[in-house]
Amino acid sequence: MLEPEQQILEVGLALRRGGITGWAALRWYGGTWFHGRASGGLTSRDVPVASALHLRAPANSVVTEERIAPGDFTVHDGLVCTTPVRSVFNEMRASGDPLRAAMSAEMAFFNDLVSLEELKQYVATHPRFHGVGLARDWLGWLDENAWSPQEVRARQLWTHVAGLPRPLCNQPVFDRRGNLLGIPDLIDEEAGLIGEYAGAHHIFQRGQDEDREMRFRMVGLEVVTMAAGDSHSPTSTATRLRAARKRARFEAPGRRAWTLEKPHWWVPRETVEERRELWGTRYQYLLDHRRLIR
């Protein structure tokens, strides 16, 4: 199985018209989470190509013919690609599933390839495209600060299956002296409820996770952990989430030993706009873990 960059490069160099789009363009732009693996991760997806004219699909590619403006193409690192926002738009429409569409958008936000506002504007000006509902219907639910597709899935379980109020994503939690307690995957500020996703990589940082959970509990926060397999048993997971919220303290802001109010030393990086302002500055190192190293 070819590495995604090699697969994308071979298709891109074979094109005479049109351009790379969807997951492949987003990967070429540096999208960490766009690896082009099919379900199960054992096979590669074809490289999507966008064209306004009929053209023969190069090997390992699939061509979509539809209306597309010249301004929706650009050249990046030697290959013609659709712009980041058009690439997200196309990937969401091709996903076939609302949750996967949301994952595509939020993982593009993760690398600051597009902002939520930019996506909203693009969708609003392209209302008649096939599959546009997959790009439009969850726009109000999207968050610019999810860190992995699994976190998006955990949030969907939280809101759509458990029916709980929408949580905040990866918001830093501090004690009253301004010390950072940790950055939980999800937090319901009103209830004082934290949701953590424990994927396979957490096996290697179990001690760190337990220390962080202890810090949260010491200031009165309720913590519930969602494991990698919980998406296969959504009903039981929803029951655990609702039970955890019932146990939460619902303390008034003035009585909490914790706060989401950021101290003066904290460098904001919770939105695409805030992160874009950091690139090229002395604070860029705070975003290095997001970069795709090729």
276 is a domain residue: no
Residue 54: its pLDDT value, please? 86
Q: Do 30 and 54 reside in the same domain of the chain?
A: yes
Q: Do 54 and 162 reside in the same domain of the chain?
A: no
Number of domains in the chain: 2
Task: Please work out, in degrees rounded to the nearest 5, the angle formed at the alpha carbon of residue 147 by the alpha carbons of 136 and 222.
Answer: 105
Choose one of 83, 109, 141: the last residue of a domain.
Answer: 141
Q: Do 90 and 216 reside in the same domain of the chain?
A: no
Answer whether 237's CB lies under 8 Å from 230's CB: yes
Q: What are phi and psi of 44, to 5 degrees?
A: -95, 145
- Residues 241-273 have pLDDT tens digits of 999 999 999 999 999 999 999 999 999 999 999
Choose one of 80, 108, 141: the last residue of a domain.
Answer: 141
Answer whether 192's CB lies under 8 Å from 222's CB: yes
Residue 203: its pLDDT value, please? 44
Which regions of the chain are under pLDDT 70? 1, 39-42, 199-208, 229-231, 293-294
271 is a domain residue: no
Angle between helices 116-124 and 84-94 in degrees, nearest 10: 70
Q: Do 133 and 171 reside in the same domain of the chain?
A: no
Answer whether 122's CB lies under 8 Å from 156's CB: no
Q: Do 72 and 158 reside in the same domain of the chain?
A: no
270 is a domain residue: no
Residue 40: its pLDDT value, please? 65
Q: Which residue has the tokens 């390839």?
A: 113
Q: Do 60 and 125 reside in the same domain of the chain?
A: yes
Q: Which tokens is 37 given?
A: 């693996």
267 is a domain residue: no
Structural domain span for residue 154: 149-259
104 is a domain residue: yes
Q: Do 113 and 93 reside in the same domain of the chain?
A: yes
Q: Do 12 and 127 reside in the same domain of the chain?
A: yes
DSSP run (H or E) holding 47:
strand 47-51
